[in-house]
Amino acid sequence: MGKVIMTVDDSPSIRQMVTFTLKNAGYEVVEAVDGADAINKVKQHSVNMVITDLNMPNVDGIELIKQLRANPAHKFTPIVMLTTESQDTKKQEGRSAGATGWIVKPFKPDQLIAVVKKVMG
């Protein structure tokens, strides 16, 4: 109970969709509008998991993952990337930056929950 998940996406609709789905499943959610906002917010909240988009203004998803991994508090935090690109390059880039897993957009709410369960238990 009370696991906090941060959703990072510059698209309000995706963010709200993710928030809505996770809250329904009993998680607490912190929203961030881009990578820079996310880096700021992890300082204020204790976050158990991060779901981030990759294409974002300011700090993008790959950079966010790198920065979070460099932060000792989030060295082992599960980070799942949202991506529409089915090309392996972007996914590989995310993987080597330290992403735990990925969700390919468009996704259904139960797919999101399945992935959250997979990485957080």
Partner 1 sequence: MSDEFDRIKEVYREEATERLAELENAMLELEQDPENMDIIASAFRAMHTIKGSGAMFGHDDIAEFTHEVESTYDRVRNGDLPVTPKLIALTLSAHDHIKALLEGHDKPGSVDMSIGEAIVLEFRNLLSAPIEKTQPEEKPKAQQSRQEKQQPALEQDTDPEKTITFRIRFTPSTDIFANGTNPAPLLKELQELGEAVIIADTHLIPPIKEMDPELCYVSWDILLTTNRGINAIKDVFIFVEDVCEVHIDVIDDATFQEGNYKKLGEILIERGDLKPEDLQQVLGGQKPIGKILEDSGLVPPDKIQSALAEQHRVRDTHEKRQQGESSSSIRVDSEKLDKLVDLVGELVTVQARLTQWANMKSDSDLTLISEEVERLTTELRDNTMSVRMLPIGSTFNKFRRLVRDLSNDLGKKVVIQTEGAETELDKTVIEQLNDPLVHIIRNSIDHGIESPETRIAEGKPEEGTILLTAAHSGAHVLIQIQDDGAGLNVNAIRSKAVERGLLYHDTEMSDTEIFNLIFAPGFSTAKQVTSVSGRGVGMDVVKKSINALRGSIDIQSKMGQGTTITLKLPLTLAIIDGLLVKIDREFFVLPLSSVEECVELSREDVAKAHNRHVAYVRNEIIPYIRLREQFGLDGEPPEIEQVVITEVSNRRVGFVVDYVIGEHQTVIKSLGKMYRDVEGISGATILGDGTVALILDINQLTHSAEEIESSLVH
Query: What residue ranges bind partner 1 (CB under 8 A)?
Result: 10-14, 16-17, 20, 24, 55-57, 69, 75-79, 82, 84, 86, 95, 98-108, 110-111, 114-115, 117-121
d(CA 90, CA 111): 20
Nearest residue (CB) to partner 1, 3 versus 41: 3
Place of tokens 């590989």: 92
Give the closest residue to 9 by CA, choosing from 34, 30, 41. Answer: 34
Least distance in angstroms from the C-beta of 1 to partner 1? 16
Least distance in angstroms from the C-beta of 44 to partner 1? 20
Nearest residue (CB) to partner 1, 7 versus 77: 77
Residue 7 pairs in a beta bridge with: 31, 51
Least distance in angstroms from the C-beta of 37 to partner 1? 16
Nearest residue (CB) to partner 1, 44 versus 87: 87
Give phi and psi for 7, each to the nearest 5.
Answer: -110, 125
Neighbouring residues of 23: CB distance < 8 A, sequence distance ≥ 6: 29
Least distance in angstroms from the C-beta of 120 to partner 1? 6
Looking at residue 85, the DSSP 8-state letter turns out to be -
